Amino acid sequence: MREAYHEQLQDLAGELATMCDMAATAMEKATRSLLDVDLGLAEEVIGDDVKVDEERARSEEHALALLALQSPVATDLRIVITTLHAAESLERMGDLAQHVAKATRRRHPQPVLPDQVRPYFAEMGRVAVHLARRAEEVIRTKDIDLARQLEDEDDAMDDLHRHLFSVLMDKEWPHGTAAAVDVTLLGRFYERFADHAVSVARRMVFVVTGKMPGSEDQH
Amino acid sequence: MREAYHEQLQDLAGELATMCDMAATAMEKATRSLLDVDLGLAEEVIGDDVKVDEERARSEEHALALLALQSPVATDLRIVITTLHAAESLERMGDLAQHVAKATRRRHPQPVLPDQVRPYFAEMGRVAVHLARRAEEVIRTKDIDLARQLEDEDDAMDDLHRHLFSVLMDKEWPHGTAAAVDVTLLGRFYERFADHAVSVARRMVFVVTGKMPGSEDQH
């Protein structure tokens, strides 16, 4: 019984890692759809989002079954609860990737991004996917140092986001308001995606140490 | 023992309702700070946000204690898990109200909003606070019909948000890009706040009926 129980806890972590991988892949493709004005790729991301939602529902069912049948306490209980919260973040990351893909689709065949800001999004996409992949590694390895590194790496996203805003706020922005609105929302989607990836990693620190690192800074 | 247990479940709902009230009040004040360019009120909202976070931590502790000591199953287990998710939404609603207040503070003594869009935000603020108050009522009364009404009322927010975007996207927008960026983000904050309020109410439907109403449409 105890052995099956620890296997079930292991399975929960495996499901989280799978969701993390799905979210990373979705954001990778969504970014490419944005940069390459690729409608097919955007449709793929939009169509695939339901899979993340299903995986989340499945992992929630498993967590509930584990709570009901095994009545975990102390650390084990916190692991299960943490899994439920992390799964919520991961579903949201999937949604945010889908929002990026929907922007591609909405403007197609026009590009959403003025050339001037393309490099920002190439880089924000790279950082976002990297953070999600790192979070996946943290879930699989329970490596606390790696989890802590994620917060530093998220600073890169915040810097990019700030620079992007200074470009937008510049009185010389020549691309019109509609483009500014798109770019503002897209910047926000990437920033939130990164925040959620960091939050997933932080929760893993909590699983291992029983303590949340510092106070959570939600932007 | 059983009686204490049902009292504890009741307490959890009470804590959620309190958080809902705090989020509604925060958004009410944040909207006034925005419309009246009131720095003091903005600071109040920003300073008070930690109280929502504390209330959420407290409700999470109580939910964990209940799980550990009472090992609820079936519906009761779902109630506790639902509470944990709803508390996360409510904390986020507090954050979003804080974001609105921070916009007021960032531009003070200048107003964030061009006069042209003030009526949209007066109305979005009204709808957002109304939805949060309704969600509180749903938590307190477990009134399923009321919960279902919330989804229709959220349509009003979506309409306002869509109209706001058509104003922004208009080629004649005369207020510059910086104002467009602010207005875009603020519009998003109100829309997300409303989405979370609806999601809290939906979760209460689940608590009462054991079924989530329809599929959750995350914007």
Domains of chain B, by residue range, sit at 2-209
Instruction: Check: CB of residue B64 under 8 Å from CB of residue A77.
Output: yes
Nearest alpha-carbon partner for B171 in A178, A33, A199, A189: A178
Contact B77 A71 (CB under 8 A): no
**Contact criterion met (CB < 8 Å) for B77 and A64:** yes
Asked if A171 lies within 8 A of B168 by C-beta distance, the reply is no
Contact A73 B73 (CB under 8 A): no
Q: Which helix (H) or strand (E) holds A186?
A: helix A176-209
B90: its two tokens? 């409510």
CA distance B9 to A191: 36
Beta carbons of B85 and A81 less than 8 Å apart: no
Q: What is the pLDDT of residues B21-59, one digit of tens each?
A: 999 999 999 999 999 999 999 999 999 999 999 999 999
The residues, ordered by sequence, that sit 6+ positions from B183 with a Cβ below 8 Å of its Cβ are B112, B113, B114, B117, B164, B168
Could you tell me the CATH superfamily of domain B2-209? Phosphate transport system protein phou homolog 2; domain 2 (1.20.58.220)
The residue length of chain A stands at 219
| pLDDT beyond 70 at B2 | no
- Give the mutation candidate from A52, A177, A190, A219 for the B interface (greatest B CB count, under 10 A): A177
How long, in residues, is chain B?
219
ipTM of the complex: 0.92
Q: Does residue B103 surpass a pLDDT of 60?
A: yes
Minimum CA–CA partner of A97 in chain B: B219
Cα R_g (chain A), whole angstroms: 19
pLDDT (tens place) for every residue of chain A, 219 residues total: 567 888 888 899 999 999 999 999 999 999 999 999 999 999 999 999 999 999 999 999 999 999 988 888 888 888 899 999 999 999 999 999 999 999 999 999 999 999 999 999 999 999 999 999 999 999 999 998 999 999 899 999 999 999 999 999 887 899 999 999 999 999 999 999 999 999 999 998 888 777 766 544 444
Q: Show Cβ contacts of residue A101 under 8 Å, excluding neighbours closer than 6 positions.
A: A26, A29, A30, A33, A34, A41, A42, A43, A44, A45, A46
Contacts of A169 in chain B (CB under 8 A): 177-178, 181
* Interchain CB distance below 8 Å, B218 and A92: yes
pLDDT digits (tens, 9 = 90+) for B175-206: 999 999 999 999 999 999 999 999 999 998 88
Candidates A73, A181, A188, A219, partner chain B, best to mutate (most B CBs within 10 A): A181
Contact assessment for residue A160 and residue A214, using Cβ atoms and an 8 Å cutoff? no
Could you tell me which of A106, A78, A87 has the C-alpha nearest to residue A208? A78
